[in-house]
Amino acid sequence: MSVNLAGRSLLKIVDLTPEELRYLIALSREFKQLKRDGVPHKRLEGKNIVLLFEKTSTRTRCAFEVAAYDLGMGVTYLDSAGSQMGKKESIADTARVLGRMYDGIEYRGFSQELVEELAEKAGVPVWNGLTDEAHPTQMIADMMTIEESFGTGLEGLKLVFMGDAQNNVGASLMAACAKLGMHFVACGPRKNMPREDFVEQCSAIAAECGGSVTLTEDVQEACTGAQVIYTDIWVSMGEPDYLWSERIRLLSPYRVTREVMALAAPDAIFMHCLPSYHDKNTDVGAQIAGKFGVTEMEVTNEVFESAQSKVFDEAENRMHSIKAIMYATLAK
């Protein structure tokens, strides 16, 4: 069956079929090759997109901007400080205005309901650039990175998410792995596991697609023989600062260390969506070090800088995959 995503939004991974996911991953790799070969690909010339950011970003914003330029599109960036959005005009009204001017809308913010409402009202494709619940564009880049690293299909590979598995990236990885027939393991304290109903939904998908979903507090059980060890920051954007002390206490046993990587398969890779607190070279990293005496959080600097670490390939792949997502949904 051929895949046609024209006119569709990308709001969360479970909305895509396994075929659609695989198509986006393959298309991302094609765009990467075109870029590498220096072949121009202004396939969306004459179109314009707008990027709405209620939370900060480096990768997602730059990936959308560079991808749009490469495809020949115009781009506008709006945040809460530089527009009426959120203060004098609701997101829903903003969406309806922007839908009259732009061919596609990226939204990064807090509420998943809001990005879904935006997609309903805008009349043009809406791409979720991260909400409190989901980070779907990150998933296409991540799966592409895993495929490139192993040079094989994704089916049957074991991916372990260490730490705050209830967050947007942990939950989205669970969905993506389930759809692609991979074995997803969330490894962390019970309190930080993904929502129960979502675990059930993804377990059912995984069972259909030949994969599995496991939740465990046991690092050894989780990481033994894994191909991918993935982690993310312990306090996500929008969460209150007072959570740091509890999260450091609960999640420190789940830090990705050299010992954790040694449990995994010999050719295992380390992944992180970034940004990461792997040293004291950030304002937050320095503050946490001063207050709690912790100098490396979700991953040690040694693992982050190791040959097994694919974090910068992953970051680059955000651009190629966002290009694929925009092309698949905007081209006729």
Judged by the rule CB under 6 A, the positions of this chain that interact with ligand CP are 57-60, 130, 138, 273-275
Residues 260-279 that bind ligand NVA (CB under 6 A): 273
236 binds, among ligand CP, ligand NVA, none (CB under 5 to 8 A by kind): ligand NVA
- Minimum CB separation of residue 246 from ligand NVA in Å reads 16
Judge whether 135 counts as a catalytic residue: yes
Q: Which amino acid is at 301?
A: N
Token representation of residue 113: 């309901």
Judge whether 59 counts as a catalytic residue: no
Compute how many other C-beta atoms are within 10 angstroms of the C-beta atom of residue 226: 23
- Minimum CB separation of residue 156 from ligand CP in Å reads 26
Element (H, E) at 105: strand 104-108
Judge whether 96 counts as a catalytic residue: no
Judge whether 132 counts as a catalytic residue: no
Q: Which amino acid is at 173?
A: L
Give the C-alpha distances (Å, rounded to integers) separating 298 from 164, 207, 253: 9, 30, 9
Residue of 59, 232, 247, 320 marked catalytic? 232
Residues 9-48 that bind ligand NVA (CB under 6 A): none
Question: What are the φ and ψ backbone dihedral angles of 27, each rounded to 5 degrees?
Answer: -65, -35
- Minimum CB separation of residue 169 from ligand NVA in Å reads 5
Contact call for residues 36 and 144 (beta carbons, < 8 A): no
Max Cα distance, the chain (Å): 57
Residues 101-160 that bind ligand NVA (CB under 6 A): 130
Q: Stretches 95-103, 163-171, 217-225, 287-295: which one binds ligand NVA (CB under 6 A)?
A: 163-171
Judge whether 138 counts as a catalytic residue: yes
Compute how many other C-beta atoms are within 10 angstroms of the C-beta atom of residue 284: 15
SS3 label, residue 183: strand
- Minimum CB separation of residue 263 from ligand CP in Å reads 26
- Minimum CB separation of residue 172 from ligand NVA in Å reads 10
Residue 171 binds ligand NVA, judged by CB under 6 A: no
From 167, 192, 231, 300, residue interacting with ligand NVA (rule: CB under 6 A): 167
From 233, 264, 268, 297, residue interacting with ligand NVA (rule: CB under 6 A): 233
d(CA 96, CA 92): 6
Judge whether 142 counts as a catalytic residue: no
Q: Which of 66, 86, 65, 85 is nearest to 76 (CA)?
A: 65
Strand partners, 187: 162, 216
Tell me which residues are annotated as active site.
108, 135, 138, 232, 273, 318
What is the binding site for ligand NVA (CB under 6 A)? 130, 167-169, 232-233, 236-237, 273
